[in-house]
Chain A
């Protein structure tokens, strides 16, 4: 099993690495990062960063001002959520109404794993059946 440990370690490490968020540093990067997480409320499925709509330009300018004024990211987001509701967040918040949205994927994965497990069990259990000609 000496070769197994590095491989298992590597496989375990990959998702952890991928999920570490990048940190934004300059004011411009902070504006871009914020705008990418917010929805252009008059567009169809565009972020504030991608949109050319006038409202999106105004809102980008607003974010830029508040970043320049030294407001933390949370304060800027909270301010916009108060005005436009959760709709403006491209990443929906975790609250009772979105529990299923956030926990669903994990539930699907576990359900599919459970189904696969019963299937594998069945494929194995017939092995011990002496009448089964397929057993080797």
Chain B
């Protein structure tokens, strides 16, 4: 019964979404307040209906209702409750319902919290959200019904892919989807603005918190995914340039560019067409990412469904959405009037250059991801595009972008003198040279990449701190300083935090990629070795039983330089339901880095293959990502104090009318 309720809710939701996608548009065109209000009501109803559907599916999972094909294929009675729940989105059909739910939540949030958005703009934006939801609901109902029944009912399910049974995975997809789908709001704002011909700084100001929100979730989702890959896949790496990772990274690059250009659109009422293009591109690339993952066009570690019919549907949907949006843009964009004037050397110019770097980076990652498919379609012999390619082409774009991030905040709006800007960067330059020299002194044989990486991080960190302090400088006493801190727009603190996060991340990336130590060898019980000033003794292997797996568990006694002792228990698991094996690394996190232990295969003489890795400062990578997300969240808070913000904006840019 619950399955039928769920399917019925989805079908009703499809009808509501079509209604939401059309009536408010008519209302906005006729300036009819009643018809426009339909958008608000129906987006809340839509959210409710999709919630019912996902709760029904969740009920099937929690009660192990194997009469539902989807539950049978992806669940098992012995699975812990948390993975029964996360199993809902650990498969194609369920993840699609989650996708639509998040889309509906954003729509309802826009209807409820978007009261300051002018009615016509809001009605049109909600209509676009409705049309997107209708497309995805149709996709779900017609090609990927999560409520399909199975007769006769099997006694036991097939189990969830063990690699996906992990706390990191329980939160990674919802978080990533919040980011992916969040970009739909920017898209809807762009289309609504183009339809209503109301693209100005107010439009940018209204769109910005939504873009920030999506950006925060996307960043957090990517970081969680990378953390999950680090401890679950057992290779000790944190980024693999895997096509599915790229599918989320490309929209992230565009969303980051968008955040920066929205700032110009909001503050200076210019670069608006450019900003709209990024709104449209960002969401289109989210859809493309979905297509690539769901269609099986790219094979990858995380692909859990591939079906040509589904791929074709998304491709057609993608073509309709993107094609329609770009056509509208082509017709309307030339009429958008840019207001603010600026010189090449100015904050506007710097932010534009940021867009150049991020745009080129996004295009580059897209090219690398799609190239093997192009080659296949063209009938050429297959090629692999792996990490060495991305490292070679991505770093030359990323490095100047980071230098620019350090300098940008030191460049005034409208017009700046280059010597003055460089003078302001003096402190940061000294710090960068200092960091590089220190690296050279501390490491006996420093890799050039380490000198560059630490220098770059110091340049960005010092530049960010200096600019942040400069904005507080008029304060002489601590009390005035506090008042000054509070009177600065929240985005000033947010930007400083986010850029600091990048600096921290650069340190983590540099350390873990230049100073990582790997020891791969056969160890016998009782044998010990020394790694990064830790003594690691292999005590042996025993059999253990988990709730739905059996495992070989290695026991490693780790003694730190201070004498602190820890036991690390890496496992090789065999899952009962599917028979698949996974490798569970054991990690000791220390202040200076991670000791990462993986148990390998037994060898004939009673020894075991082991891989022991020291990953220096690796947690700085996720720490940096966390700081950046925090920075984004702080910037959203700016909207909560509109009065203070308005005052700040006026004093920041006084323009002749």
Contact = CB atoms under 8 A, between A and B. Distances in A.
Interface of A: 1, 3-4, 6-8, 10-11, 13-15, 17-20, 22, 32, 37, 39, 44-47, 50, 52, 85-92, 97-98, 100-102, 104-105, 108-109, 111-113, 115-116, 119-120, 122-124, 126-127, 132-136
Nearest to A43: B301
B344 to A, nearest CB: 5
Contact of A50 (B237, B274, B451, B459): B237
Contact of B386 (A11, A17, A45, A126): A45
Contacts of B449: 17-18, 20, 22
B448 A3 contact: no
Contacts of A126: 341
B373 interface: no
Interface of B: 234-235, 237, 240, 242-243, 270-271, 274, 299-301, 303, 338-344, 348-349, 352-353, 355-357, 359-360, 363-364, 367-368, 371, 375, 380-389, 392-393, 395-397, 399-400, 403, 418-419, 422-423, 425-426, 429, 432-433, 447-449, 451-453, 455-456, 459, 514, 518, 583, 600, 655-657
B393 A120 contact: no
Given A7-B422, A119-B274, A119-B352, A85 B382 contact: yes
A104 B368 CA distance: 9
A19 B391 CA distance: 9
A91 B352 contact: no
Contacts, number: 184
Contacts of B423: 3
B397 A18 contact: no
Contacts of B429: 6-7, 10
Contacts of A102: 393
A65 to B, nearest CB: 16
Q: Which of A7, A91, A133 has the most CB of B within 10 A?
A: A7
Contacts of A115: 356
Nearest to A96: B380
Contact of B452 (A17, A86, A89, A120): A17
Given A22-B449, A120-B343, A122-B338, 20 more contacts: A10-B432, A10-B433, A44-B300, A45-B242, A45-B301, A46-B235, A52-B234, A85-B381, A85-B382, A86-B382, A90-B388, A92-B371, A101-B367, A105-B396, A112-B359, A112-B360, A124-B341, A124-B344, A132-B341, A134-B655
B108 to A, nearest CB: 37
A124 to B, nearest CB: 6
26 contacts: A6-B429, A10-B429, A11-B400, A17-B448, A17-B455, A18-B395, A18-B452, A20-B448, A22-B447, A32-B518, A39-B386, A44-B299, A52-B234, A86-B381, A87-B384, A97-B380, A104-B363, A105-B396, A108-B363, A109-B360, A116-B356, A123-B341, A123-B342, A134-B340, A134-B656, A136-B341
Contacts of B384: 39, 86-90, 92
Contacts of A89: 383-384, 386
Contact of B399 (A14, A104, A127): A14
Nearest to B655: A134
B353 A116 contact: yes
A4 B448 contact: no
Contacts of A123: 270, 338, 340-343, 348
A3 B422 contact: yes
Contacts of B303: 44
Top-6 shortest CB links A-B: A90-B386, A91-B388, A17-B452, A20-B448, A105-B364, A50-B235
Contacts of B459: 10
A85 B382 CA distance: 8
Contacts of A136: 341, 656
B352 A120 contact: yes
A15 B399 contact: yes
A8 B386 CA distance: 32
B341 A97 contact: no
A45 B243 CA distance: 8
A1 B422 CA distance: 9
Contact of B371 (A6, A37, A91, A101): A101
B385 A101 contact: yes
Contacts of A15: 395-396, 399-400, 452
Given A86-B383, A124-B344, A116 B355 contact: yes
A97 B498 CA distance: 40
Contacts of A46: 235, 240, 301
B363 A7 contact: no
A54 to B, nearest CB: 10
A14 B426 CA distance: 16
Contacts of A10: 429, 432-433, 455, 459
A94 B269 CA distance: 44
A126 B338 CA distance: 10
Contact of A92 (B359, B383, B656): B383
A46 B384 CA distance: 11
Nearest to A50: B235
Contacts of A120: 342-344, 349, 352
Given A85-B382, A101-B385, A108-B360, A4 B422 contact: yes
Nearest to B453: A18
Nearest to B386: A90
A4 B237 contact: no
Nearest to A133: B656
A109 to B, nearest CB: 4
A82 B514 CA distance: 32
B419 A1 contact: yes
A126 B339 CA distance: 10
Given A7-B422, A18-B395, A18-B453, A134 B368 contact: no
A91 B456 contact: no
B301 A113 contact: no
A86 B229 CA distance: 27
A104 B367 CA distance: 8
A88 B400 CA distance: 31
B341 to A, nearest CB: 5
A4 B419 contact: yes
Contacts of A105: 360, 363-364, 367, 393, 396-397
A47 B389 CA distance: 13
A21 to B, nearest CB: 9
Nearest to A109: B360
A18 B433 contact: no
Q: Which of A1, A17, A89 has the most CB of B within 10 A?
A: A17
B399 A112 contact: no
A22 to B, nearest CB: 5
Given A3-B426, A101-B368, A124-B341, A109 B356 contact: yes
